[in-house]
Structure 1
Amino acid sequence: MPERESYNHGVFNWTDLCVDDPERAKEFYAALFGLSFLDETDAHGNVYSLGQKNDRPVLGVMVKPAEMAEAGIPNVWETYIKVDDADAALAASVAAGGTAMGPVMQATDAGRLAVVADPTGGVVVLWEPIDHQGAHLVNEHGTLCWNELVTSDVAAATAFYSEVLGWTTVPLGMNDMVGIRQGADMIGTISPLPAEGVPTHWAVYFAVDDCDATVAQCQSLGGSVTVPAMDMPPGRMAQLADNQGAIFWVITLNPDFSMA
């Protein structure tokens, strides 16, 4: 279902963009995905912008933290996973061989979060919700529809997330890719790196009504194409870079395809 009010433990629930120029990013994604933006300011003056579709939050945009910029980390879409207890999830991540990127943090009344790197280098945000459960709409034009870990070691990554989050995986018969299951639901994929020099990373996919039209619009807005549009069993998809270099995928979902 496209409408969501809550998420189960271990399920992807949000994505946000850490970027040099949030205002420029909001203009780009408003035009590309038809979103409006609502700015929220905390007690310290930090602004977090909620991308909204039909007045329902679907993604976030924030200025890239100074420590990320100083470390040379590019503008990036972050992947969030809902957890019941951020402290417990962080402890379990470290025990399983992951790296804590900092302590558990309070994000106003929205929730509590921990940023961890898995043993293969994939960085993810573990989110314990308070007021903010996650995206209220998914699988519609301009909203999150899929998450994929692209990793140097599928087996090691699978073992880590299975221990920390209770995921199970199933082989998909496509280049060592496995599907991620949380309970009975297929929620994402883990796949090997496509080429040398590509770092382990979490990829985010946004549903679009017309992949080719979105590719052309991205280019007209100052973005670029990093992987041309192609037809795959889940749908027609392309990898794009926005006008500040942040990488993301778009896909026109095949309504007849199912990984179940």
Structure 2
Amino acid sequence: MAERNSYAHGDFNWVDLATDNPDAAKTFYSALFGWSFVDDIDESGNIYSLGLKNDRPVVGLMAKTPEMVEMGVPNVWETYIKVDDADAALAGVEPAGGTPMGPVMQAAQAGRLAVVTDPTGGVVMLWEPIDHQGAHFKSEHGALCWNELVTSDVDAAMAFYSAVLGWTPVKMGDGGVVGIRQGTEIIGTATPAPHDGVPSHWAVYLAVNDCDAVADHCRSLGGSVNVAPMDTPPGRMAQLADDQGAIFWVITPDPDFSMD
């Protein structure tokens, strides 16, 4: 199994779902991916649930905050990036053209979190771990595989993330897609939004053993298949939505594909 006990600065280390009905979401994703869930309740009574694969955490799940509801934020999968120092990372956001969504927040002994918006409107979480390093499994069935920024301005977004996180953009083909290089590894991509009106956002990809079977299962559970399974160089992928409308991608990776 692709076990991960730590992540480097600037690497994608976690995703979670903010949703209207966490209990319904647990039922849906337990059936789709086989995750079990354990709840962590803070001193204010807020519940944050960990989705477990083989008893180890791979995703998070929570009710949308009142602020998210007031702003009309849809049910959404959120992307986290590991940073060595949340305060230092947050201090670099505004000079690079981004917007802090608030101060650094302490998540008990799990870690410290800064929520920021890049210059094109993409929202991302910067995570400084204490006890919680991130997803214990990566790039295997039912675990995080890939993160992709869909953005109105790839160049502006990558200039921001390069300044804040030290990423290096790598041109990939002629379609405007840029690879995100961290150190010597391509860890994600940034791609132009397909048309005007699509807000900049981080798309979450989960690895699956059989893309077609998972897409069919999603539909049978009350979800939808927004983009039918299709073959691409990285693997066979589909865009799905759960039974509350939260969008995510699944991919059966091609073991012979390399982005380097």
Structure 2: runs of 5 or more not aligned: none
Shift of 1:249: 0.2
Q: CA separation in 1, counterparts of 2:83 and 2:76?
A: 22
State the partner residue of 1:153.
153
Task: Report Cα offsets for 1:129-148 as digits up to 9, x if no partner.
Answer: 00000000011111000000
Task: Report Cα offsets for 1:18-46 as digits up to 9, x if no partner.
Answer: 00000000111111011111111111111
**Secondary structure of 2:120's aligned partner:** coil
State the partner residue of 2:78.
78
State the partner residue of 2:192.
192
Task: Report Cα offsets for 1:56-101 as digits up to 9, x if no partner.
Answer: 1000000000100110000000000000110110110111110011
Shift of 1:2: 1.1
**Secondary structure of 1:102's aligned partner:** coil
Q: CA separation in 1, counterparts of 2:174 and 2:103?
A: 37
Superposition TM-score, scaled by structure 1 size: 0.99
Q: CA separation in 2, counterparts of 1:174 and 1:215?
A: 30
Is 1:206 paired with 2:226? no
State the partner residue of 1:99.
99
Q: CA separation in 2, counterparts of 1:195 and 1:155?
A: 17
Q: CA separation in 2, counterparts of 1:206 and 1:121?
A: 23
Is 1:64 paired with 2:57? no
State the partner residue of 1:31.
31
Q: CA separation in 2, counterparts of 1:225 and 1:197?
A: 21
Is 1:120 paired with 2:120? yes
Q: CA separation in 2, counterparts of 1:243 and 1:124?
A: 24
Q: CA separation in 2, counterparts of 1:257 and 1:33?
A: 24
Alignment length (residue pairs): 260
State the partner residue of 1:175.
175
Please tell me the residue identity of whatever aligns with 2:190: I
State the partner residue of 1:17.
17
Please tell me the residue identity of whatever aligns with 1:42: D
Q: CA separation in 1, counterparts of 2:168 and 2:7?
A: 17
Q: CA separation in 2, counterparts of 1:103 and 1:258?
A: 38
Shift of 1:197: 1.4
Superposition TM-score, scaled by structure 2 size: 0.99
Shift of 1:227: 1.1
Please tell me the residue identity of whatever aligns with 1:255: P
Q: CA separation in 1, counterparts of 2:161 and 2:138?
A: 23
Q: CA separation in 2, counterparts of 1:11 and 1:96?
A: 19
State the partner residue of 1:139.
139
Q: Percent identity?
A: 71
Please tell me the residue identity of whatever aligns with 1:19: T
